[in-house]
Chain A
Amino acid sequence: AAGVIQSPRHLIKEKRETATLKCYPIPRHDTVYWYQQGPGQDPQFLISFYEKMQSDKGSIPDRFSAQQFSDYHSELNMSSLELGDSALYFCASSLGYRGRETQYFGPGTRLLVL
């Protein structure tokens, strides 16, 4: 079965650079979620989109922005990168947005900021 696809899988950037992470949800899924997992930490919710509109916002820094496109894929744009942004970034998708749907996670993008 098709799963959530994230690209790139690994990314190395320097401080103050920008990065764009991409997420392709499971076909027919209309909701996308972004999470950040620091080393040894639990995943922290950043932002979500339902039907191409922002549906909820968590602890996403102002330097980050995201959007969901007409084909339901999503991109997380990160600017003015800081060392503390080094983390594993997960995307998840679900069908519907009523709070009980299972979220299926992608393999993550590991970002290292030097």
Chain B
Amino acid sequence: GDSVTQMEGPVTLSEEAFLTINCTYTATGYPSLFWYVQYPGEGLQLLLKATKADDKGSNKGFEATYRKETTSFHLEKGSVQVSDSAVYFCALSAGNTGGFKTIFGAGTRLFVKA
């Protein structure tokens, strides 16, 4: 079945460091890919998305490129801030899985130190 695998956390970085959170997926068909962010005590917020191969999603300095050849959607940010501390979920939604639910990765917790 469809699945999402993302790097285990926690990831601890200093402010202004470069961030990469790896995400790979398995899916039949052509899924849409998403990154969601969950701040402490809050709900899920859509960070960025890409709906077809080679699309790049970007928002708030975060970027991710839909790589069909490597089935990856790695999240990157050039310079993290303390306010980026949160849990990041990679997710996919595919129209031919027999359903249209979003499948989430396990989440990666990011701590950014001042």
Contact = CB atoms under 8 A, between A and B. Distances in A.
Interface residues of B, number: 27
A62 interface: no
Contacts of A42: 89, 104-107
Contacts of B99: 48, 55-58
B107 A45 contact: no
A104 interface: yes
B44 A43 contact: yes
A25 interface: no
B96 interface: yes
A58 B31 CA distance: 18
Interface string A18-59: 000000000000010100000001110100100000011110
B69 interface: no
Determine the interface band of chain A, counting residues with CB < 8 A from chain B. Answer: 20 to 34
A52 B35 CA distance: 28
A108 B102 CA distance: 16
Interface stretch (A66-74, A77-85, A95-103): A95-103
A101 B51 CA distance: 9
A99 B45 contact: no
Contact of A105 (B45, B96, B103): B45
Interface string B87-104: 001000111111111111
- Candidate in A42, A92, A100, A102 with the most chain B CB atoms within 10 angstroms: A42
A102 B94 contact: no
B34 interface: yes
A105 B32 CA distance: 17
Contacts of B97: 99
Interface in B21-38: 31-32, 34, 36
B95 A45 contact: no
A108 B43 contact: yes
A48 B101 CA distance: 8
- Candidate in B44, B45, B49, B105 with the most chain A CB atoms within 10 angstroms: B44
- 8 residue pairs, one from A and one from B, having the closest CB atoms: A99-B95, A56-B99, A45-B101, A107-B43, A105-B44, A42-B104, A99-B100, A100-B32
